[in-house]
A and B are shown apart, each in its own frame.
Chain A
Amino acid sequence: MAVRKVYGSLNSPATLKVLACLFEHDLDFEFVPVNLNAGEHKKKPFLSMNPFGQVPVYEDGGIKQFESRAIIRCMGFEYGKKGEELIYWDARKQAIVANWIDVEGHQFEPPALKLIFEMVIKPKNGLAPDHGVVAEAEAELGSVLDVYEARLAKSKYLGSDRYTIADVLHLPNLQSLLGTKAKKLIESRPRVRAWCSEILARPAWGKVLEMKRDKAQA
């Protein structure tokens, strides 16, 4: 029986963030798919694992966690590979990483998800995007990426000169945005574009994309 399990969906950015981190740390795990279309996450027994009815849930050695950023932080401290940790043990250095983790959650992800919903999910379900919402979200995300552009002039990655959790958290939504017209927001900002290309090329992210491809072909 696997020590680690991820209950989630390969369509969920939060699930993909956790999977990326598991691969970064070379950790074995069992992936247990949760059928979001069938509402499995809103019923028991899933609700007994996460009463907020969201994927992913992560189990490691009998401890269950939900909320991807909580899972990923703990994983970073528990399993960091010496010299290549995705976190810092030093309080001051970790504070800056934590700063950018929260920027991803509060500033980047909301407009990114709105754009992905309008430009990817709605068309898949035969619905037309709301151009007003798209324009507003593009403006919002553009302002955030201006801040990133300035930050990346001073720091190789968002949280430090090393790749950290703060960068990993962006992977699924950046990947999705690059498949839409909103990619211009990334491509028009040279440092953001370079950072984006680099982090999306990481082998751990490649393994997540492989899982998605395998599922699509199954």
Chain B
Amino acid sequence: MAPIKVHGIPLSMPTQRVLATLYEKELEFELVPVDMKAGEHKKVPFLSLNPFGLTPAFEDGDLKLIESRAITKYIAHQYANKGTDLACGDTKQKAIIGVAMEVEAHQFDPPASKLTWELALKPVFGLVTDKAVVEENEAKLAKVLDIYESRLAHSKYLTCDCFTLADLHHLPAVQYLLGTEAKKLFDSRPHVSAWIADITSRPAWRKVHALQKEY
């Protein structure tokens, strides 16, 4: 029985973020399904793993964690010597990666998640897309991507010429948006486009994407 367990589903973007990190690190783990349709995540016993009723919840032996980006940072730190090096570099480099990770969480993810919900997920659940929300968040995401475009003119990845956790954190939303009209926001920005093509073709990410498609 694997000591590492992820409680979640392969459709959930935060769960995907954690799975991608585990695959990059070549770690054994068990994905424990959560029946979100039945509201399992809003009831005990799931609530004892994540009292906010959100997926994923994570266990490594007796360590229990929530919040996907705290989990991925833990995996990258605890298993630094295994698999892909997701940390990369000296103190100055780590400072830059730290900024890029907060930018993903607080600047990129809010509009990207809203667009993913409206354009990719609502149709699957038979709900109607809100065009005003789409327009508003496409404009917000466009501004963020303009900054990324300038940044990626100077380096292959967001923080340097190595793939780090800062790039990985973007994968779930980026993959969903590639299947929607919002793809145009990437296509019109050549450096962003090239970066996306690169990070979404990583073998570890392809495994996560396969799980999502099979679900």
- Residue positions of A touching B, CB distance < 8 A: 51-52, 63, 65-67, 69-70, 73-74, 78, 91-92, 94-96, 98-99, 101-103, 105-107, 144, 147, 150-151
Contact B69 A102 (CB under 8 A): yes
Contact B102 A70 (CB under 8 A): yes
Contact B99 A67 (CB under 8 A): yes
Contact B70 A101 (CB under 8 A): yes
Nearest A-chain residue to B102, judged by Cβ: A67
Contact A65 B95 (CB under 8 A): yes
Contact A65 B98 (CB under 8 A): yes
Q: Which residues does chain B contribute within 8 Å of A92, judged by CB atoms?
A: 60, 63, 74, 78
B window 20-72: CB within 8 A of A = 51-52, 60, 63, 65-67, 69-71
Contact A147 B51 (CB under 8 A): yes
Q: Which residues does chain A contribute within 8 Å of B73, judged by CB atoms?
A: 95, 98
Nearest A-chain residue to B109, judged by Cβ: A106
B window 95-110: CB within 8 A of A = 95-96, 98-99, 101-103, 105-107
Q: What is the size, in residues, of chain B's interface with A at 8 Å between Cβ atoms? A: 30
Q: Which residues does chain B contribute within 8 Å of A69, judged by CB atoms?
A: 102
Task: Count how many pairs of residues, one from A and one from B, have CB atoms less than 8 Å apart in the complex.
Answer: 77
In the assembled complex, B77 has its CB within 8 A of some CB on chain A: yes
Contact A70 B95 (CB under 8 A): yes
Known A-B contacts: A69-B102, A102-B69, A103-B67. Give 13 more (CB < 8 A).
Answer: A52-B147, A65-B95, A67-B106, A70-B99, A70-B102, A74-B98, A78-B91, A91-B77, A95-B63, A95-B78, A102-B67, A106-B67, A150-B51
Nearest A-chain residue to B94, judged by Cβ: A74
A67-B77 Cα distance, complex, nearest whole Å? 21
Q: Which residues does chain A contribute within 8 Å of B180, judged by CB atoms?
A: none
Nearest B-chain residue to A68, judged by Cβ: B102
Contact B98 A70 (CB under 8 A): yes
Nearest B-chain residue to A150, judged by Cβ: B51
Distance in angstroms from A62 CB to nearest chain B CB is 9
Residue contacts A-B, CB under 8 angstroms, 5 given? A51-B150, A65-B98, A67-B99, A78-B91, A96-B65
